Amino acid sequence: MSLNKDKEKRNNSQDEKNASISNLESAKCALGSLGVVGDAVQPYLPLFSTVTIIISEINNVYANAKYNKKICNSLMDRVNIAELSIRNLERRKKENEKNFRDEGYYLAFHRFIEVMKNIKQFIGNVSTLSGFKKYFHANSIKEKFESLTSEFEFAMNNLHFTTTLRNDDQRRIDQESLSSDLKEMEEFLSTIGENVIDSNQQVNTVLTEIRIIKNQLT
């Protein structure tokens, strides 16, 4: 079992390395032939469209959220800021000419897209009962949430996007959201007893793990 996990890690590491090489080659190809002023934005137009689509999908997922809405709200605060930043970047093409010609900036934009995809997936999972329970036994909701927010901040900084989020205030809001939603989920699962089965685990096992995560937040 351990050998299989090690092999999987090596394969994942190699895949990430190959993806990085591929992205770098794509960046060189996309930016290498740029000429006159105004051309620099052309390779980014498909990326702008991709981000816009992802944000629209996130909004749709959020609109249908049934659980953990406060956790989702904390992430939506960031999604809204990202959307505004992209609009500003599109509008201020000329001012960002230098950034658009930078390979590192192009790669950073691709990483930003991956972060937004991960946020969409997390909101989709955590906002449904079946999806919420996927994060047990692997990463806690708290750990996954904090990982996503850190990745988001890193990606935003690499693109020189400014945020209106004040770190101390946002951390407080995030912690309150996590604590409140997990408490509500605990109460909800307590009321449905053994009527919900998660693969081979009964709901009381899930309930125990929610309590463990809650204790980690205090």
Listed residue (87, 90, 82) closest to 120, CA to CA: 82
Listed residue (110, 118, 130, 144) closest to 196, CA to CA: 130
Q: How far apart are CA 177 and CA 164, in angstroms?
A: 19
pLDDT at 180 (0 to 100):
83
pLDDT at 88 (0 to 100):
93
Q: How far apart are CA 6 and CA 165, in angstroms?
A: 39
Give the model confidence (pLDDT) of 142-153 as tens digits: 888 989 999 999
Q: How far from chain centre, in Å, is Cα 179?
A: 20
Counting as low any pLDDT under 70, the low residues of the chain are 1-38, 133, 135-139, 164-166, 188-218
pLDDT at 23 (0 to 100):
55
CB atoms < 10 A from the CB of 51, how many? Answer: 22
Q: What is the pTM of this model?
A: 0.72
Structure token digits, residue 74: 């904390």
pLDDT at 162 (0 to 100):
80
CB atoms < 10 A from the CB of 100, how many? Answer: 21
Q: How far apart are CA 106 and CA 24, in angstroms?
A: 9
Structure token digits, residue 169: 């205030």
Phi, psi of 67 (to 5 degrees): -135, 160
Q: How far apart are CA 67 and CA 188, in angstroms?
A: 10
Listed residue (65, 63, 81) closest to 181, CA to CA: 65
pLDDT at 26 (0 to 100):
58
Distances (CA, A) of 53 to 78, 84, 116: 16, 14, 11
pLDDT at 64 (0 to 100):
92
In the chain, where are the structural domains located?
1-33, 36-217
Q: Which residue pairs from 204-207 have beta carbons closer than 8 angstroms and sit at least 24 positions apart in sequence?
A: 206/133, 206/136
